[in-house]
Amino acid sequence: MSTIAPFSGFGLGLRRTHYQDFLESDVPVDFVEVISENYMVDGGNPLRILEEVRAKMPVILHGVSMSIGSANGLDSEYLARLEMLANRIDPLWVSDHLCWTRTSAHNSHDLLPLPYTREALDVVCSNIDHAQETLGRPMLFENPSSYMTFPEDEMTEWEFLSAMSLRTGCYLLLDVNNIYVSAHNHGFSADDYLAGIPADRVRQIHLAGHTDGDIKIDTHDALVCDGVWQLYAKARGILGDVATMIERDDGIPPLPELLTELDRARALATGPSPTDGPTDGPTERIAA
């Protein structure tokens, strides 16, 4: 399996509401990320636009439906369509989530949680091998937000991700908001999580907003909160210069607002690493 060279820069998710901005102006980003499934179609305007944007800048294909944790294996039609899209777009890389979405009979279209067991690790690694062989390239997998853990868990999420990456050669997409959300929801230390991730396997960082509550929910519909910014600064201190982007999928503001938010990521990335305390508590603090 080939390797993925590090790529530094700052990007945004390409969403329909900003198509014209990207087609008609030079948006100051280093890459865009698209939801793969939106373009795994036979033809028409979405593919035409994606190809036009691709002619301007690198594109990352980020999927939500591979269902890498499905015990019944991967969907061959899905893989074939993703392979066609990847060959057509020549993306920086192809990514998906550490989760499952479907059984043989039904598809939830949601990122459902996996138990972190040796059995699940075997299933996930077997599926990743299958996907990477089919696509002819290594993939990135993203840590999910989750709303429950399982009594049968045998390892932490970061131990699972580390073992998965070691066994399959896949890379990691670290969603800092998801670490923040899951740390709150499950009571683990975000600092322990960052320390436990194999830094040399991380090729991308996601930043996003969430909805607060007794259980925090990863909704991608709000500004990145201060606690996540702090955790991002720490992650940069550990991971170094990693491609970073802001994900917004709902309540999408005009592009200039997202670019302003992305500037904050740039500023944090070039500034000194924070020296303040743990960032795994539920209280949001003002970034230094």
Partner 1 sequence: MIAANSLGERQQEFMAQVLDDEHPLPAGWTDRHAAGMDIYRNAYRARLVDALRDTYERTAKWAGEDAFRQAAAHHLINRPPNSWTLDDAGDGFPETLRELFTGDPEVAELGWLEWAMHRAFVAADAVPMVAEDLGKLAATFAEEDWGNMQLTFLPGTDQRLVRHDVGALWRALAGEEELAAEDRPEVISAQPMHLVVWREGVKPVFMQVSDAEGRALQMMRNGSTYGAMCAYLVESLGEEEAIAESGAMLGRWLHNGLIAAITK
Closer residue to partner 1 (CB): 24 or 42: 42
Contact pick of 8, 20, 87, 103 for partner 1 (by CB under 8 A):
103
Q: Cα(230)–Cα(265) distance, rounded to whole angstroms?
A: 10
Contact pick of 52, 110, 133, 200 for partner 1 (by CB under 8 A):
110
Q: Identify residues 45-84 at the interface with partner 1 (CB under 8 A).
A: 45-46, 48, 65, 70-72, 75, 77-78
Q: Which stretch binds partner 1 (CB under 8 A): 112-120, 128-136, 251-259, 270-278?
A: 112-120
Q: Identify residues 200-239 at the interface with partner 1 (CB under 8 A).
A: 214-215, 217
44 binds partner 1 (CB under 8 A): yes
| Shortest distance in whole angstroms from residue 245 CB to partner 1 | 22
Q: Which stretch binds partner 1 (CB under 8 A): 18-26, 34-42, 196-204, 270-278?
A: 34-42
Q: Do 114 and 124 form a contact (C-beta atoms < 8 A)?
A: yes
Closer residue to partner 1 (CB): 98 or 243: 98
Burial of 105 (0-12, 13-18, 19+ CB in 10 A): exposed
120 binds partner 1 (CB under 8 A): yes
Q: Which stretch binds partner 1 (CB under 8 A): 117-125, 223-231, 259-267, 274-282?
A: 117-125
Q: Cα(117)–Cα(113) distance, rounded to whole angstroms?
A: 12
Torsion angle of the four alpha carbons 163, 6, 270, 248, in this order, in degrees rounded to the nearest 10: -70
| Shortest distance in whole angstroms from residue 95 CB to partner 1 | 16
20 binds partner 1 (CB under 8 A): no
The interface mask with partner 1, positions 136-175, x = CB under 8 A, is ----------xxx--x------------------------
Closer residue to partner 1 (CB): 109 or 266: 109
Q: Cα(262)–Cα(75) distance, rounded to whole angstroms?
A: 35
The interface mask with partner 1, positions 178-207, x = CB under 8 A, is -------x----------------------
19 binds partner 1 (CB under 8 A): no
Closer residue to partner 1 (CB): 49 or 233: 49
By CB under 8 A, name the binding residues for partner 1: 37, 40-46, 48, 65, 70-72, 75, 77-78, 100, 102-103, 105-110, 112, 115, 117, 119-120, 123, 146-148, 151, 185, 214-215, 217
